[in-house]
Amino acid sequence: MKEIIPDPPPIVRNDVAAIQALFQQNVIPSYGRFDLVMSHGSGSYIYDVAGKRFLDFGGGIAVCALGHAHPAITEALLEQSRRLVHISNYYYHEPQGRLAQALVALIGPGKCFFCNSGAEANEGLFKLARRFGHEEGRFEILTTFNSFHGRTLAGIAATGQEKIKMGFSPAVPGFRHVPYNDLDAMRAAISPATAAILVEGIQGEGGVTPATPEYLLGLRQLCNERRLLFLIDAVQDGHFRTGTFQSFQRILESPELANGSRAGFLPDGISMAKSLGGGFPIGAFWVRTSYCDLLSAGSHGATFGGSPLACAVALKVLDVIQREKLADNARRIGEFLRSGLQRLAQIYPDTIANVRGLGLMLGMQLSTSLQDLPGEMAKTQAARFAGLLHGAGLLSIPAGTHIVRFLPALNLSQSEASEGLQIIESVLATLS
């Protein structure tokens, strides 16, 4: 053994250059990382190894629902790990059963399957759609341009963005894309091979674009008429981020909708991940009662899926969200942030083209006529703007070429939201 295990590297505690060198030498360079080396976090703040404090409006890309180092998560991890971390899905255990029950209660009648990530949750929905259409030779899933459904081979085939697919052909067959929020295009794309339609309630990676209520209701009706599964990818916009458990519930609150048109609205399948574990990896998909036994014993599985540890943490995240009324907080602080950003868009119209999103899933679109921002020219304007925000002490997530996303913890306070707005304003002021 001695010969094949190299000596451990020297301790590089807090040495930025040495930590980055470890990555450059040993980590596959598939991410365009920012030049930041993080050390620890507390609530909505993260500290780098030099001790610089950042207000976290990125939330680990909509994952850290309770912020960083939340004591309830630490407690749940400790308590469950003293009992049982993992047992495989050959056996029953209480945390998985209770988590499934909680998700069903929040969505509607059906059943859940547990996995480890968003891409894997979507894979489960793809298999569900293929099983559903199998006997009639139907297998095709229609998705939308600008969508994002994960990095597996089927995930990139489902994703409606060429840059994600490049260099990985041949594509997994059975996916076609149509424009988002365009019901006629979806209707026209249905073929005899179509089995399902998959959309995000709010396109996240594509630039924070919410579905219209008419689109969601229209897709539901279309799927009923043509006997298709209506699937929603709620990996990013779900878990109370918009102020309701699912973004479609928030979108369908629209007062303009005809009375009763939204009553009983449910898709046939929903994929979830990200905030579900508040930072501990867990994914899931829910399937409506009529189809929830299609994936019969032996047809699908995941070794780590729904482990006692992951489920105990996810149950605790749900418990804190409900006990501390964080859905209401996401709605209220989201509205505060949104109106603050809109005010900034009025003051700096040459820099901010528009602000969109719901609750604590907000996107600030930079003007396409904005001059080149300082930073690496190989990076998008959005990434360079995020870099400027880093310099001023705020973390955000770029999307597309021109959108800066804000996906903070659901327990963000109003004073933290104000601080974030001040930081954004300070950067905007230097650019005008």
Ligand X SMILES: Cc1ncc(COP(=O)(O)O)c(C=O)c1O
Tokens 């939330």 belong to which residue?
A: 59
How many Cβ atoms sit within 10 Å of the Cβ of residue 242? 28
Q: Which stretch binds ligand X (CB under 6 A): 42-50, 189-197, 229-237, 361-369?
A: 229-237
* CA distances from residue 273 to 65, 106, 122, 156 in whole angstroms, order as listed: 11, 15, 10, 17
Q: Which stretch binds ligand X (CB under 6 A): 6-14, 16-24, 118-126, 164-172?
A: 118-126
Residues 6+ apart with CB under 8 A from 10: 18
Q: How far is the CB of 49 from ligand X (least distance, A)?
A: 25
Question: Which one of residues 56, 123, 200, 268 is an interface residue with ligand X (CB under 6 A)?
Answer: 200
Q: How far apart are CA 288 and CA 104, in angstroms?
A: 9
Question: Which one of residues 123, 140, 233, 268 is an interface residue with ligand X (CB under 6 A)?
Answer: 233
Q: How far apart are CA 22 and CA 12, in angstroms?
A: 9
- Tell me whether residue 237 or residue 268 sits nearer to ligand X (CB atom): 237
Question: Which one of residues 114, 132, 148, 245 is an interface residue with ligand X (CB under 6 A)?
Answer: 148
Query: Taking CB under 6 A as the criterion, which residues in 234-253 touch ligand X?
Result: 235-236
Q: How far is the CB of 202 from ligand X (least distance, A)?
A: 9
Question: Which one of residues 67, 124, 150, 278 is an interface residue with ligand X (CB under 6 A)?
Answer: 150
Q: How far is the CB of 112 from ligand X (least distance, A)?
A: 17
Q: How far is the CB of 108 from ligand X (least distance, A)?
A: 20
Q: How many amino acids of this chain bind ligand X (CB under 6 A)?
A: 15
Residue 119 binds ligand X, judged by CB under 6 A: yes
Q: How far is the CB of 204 from ligand X (least distance, A)?
A: 4
- Tell me whether residue 236 or residue 244 sits nearer to ligand X (CB atom): 236
Q: Which stretch binds ligand X (CB under 6 A): 189-197, 200-208, 291-299, 329-337?
A: 200-208
Question: Which one of residues 174, 204, 207, 400 is an interface residue with ligand X (CB under 6 A)?
Answer: 204
Q: How far is the CB of 200 from ligand X (least distance, A)?
A: 5
Q: Give rounded-to-5 percent helix, strand, coil for the chain.
A: 40, 20, 40
Query: Taking CB under 6 A as the criterion, which residues in 70-109 touch ligand X?
Result: none
Residue 302 binds ligand X, judged by CB under 6 A: no
Token pair for residue 257? 């909708």
Contact yes or no for 58/396 (Cβ under 8 A): yes
Q: What string of DSSP letters covers 310-325?
A: HHHHHHHHHHHHHHTT
Residues 6+ apart with CB under 8 A from 7: none
The per-type count for the chain, helices as H runs and strands as E runs, is 14, 17
Q: How far apart are CA 122 and CA 22, in angstroms?
A: 33
Residue 117 binds ligand X, judged by CB under 6 A: yes
Largest CA distance in the chain: 73
Q: How far is the CB of 280 from ligand X (least distance, A)?
A: 12
Q: How far is the CB of 2 from ligand X (least distance, A)?
A: 38
Radius of gyration of the chain (CA): 22
Q: How far is the CB of 314 from ligand X (least distance, A)?
A: 14
Q: What string of DSSP letters covers 3-24?
A: TTSPPPPPP-TT-HHHHHHHHH
Q: How far apart are CA 310 and CA 409, in angstroms?
A: 19
- Tell me whether residue 118 or residue 174 sits nearer to ligand X (CB atom): 118
Q: How far apart are CA 411 and CA 404, in angstroms?
A: 21
Query: Taking CB under 6 A as the criterion, which residues in 49-68 touch ligand X?
Result: 61
Question: Which one of residues 149, 177, 250, 356 is an interface residue with ligand X (CB under 6 A)?
Answer: 149
Give, rounded to a whole angstrom, the gap between the first and last alpha carbons of the chain: 61
Q: Which residue is nearest to ligand X (CB)?
A: 118
HSE-CB of 122 using CA atoms within 13 angstroms: 29
Q: Which stretch binds ligand X (CB under 6 A): 68-76, 145-153, 176-184, 318-326?
A: 145-153
State the residues that interact with ligand X by CB under 6 A. 61, 117-119, 122, 148-150, 200, 204-205, 233, 235-236, 273
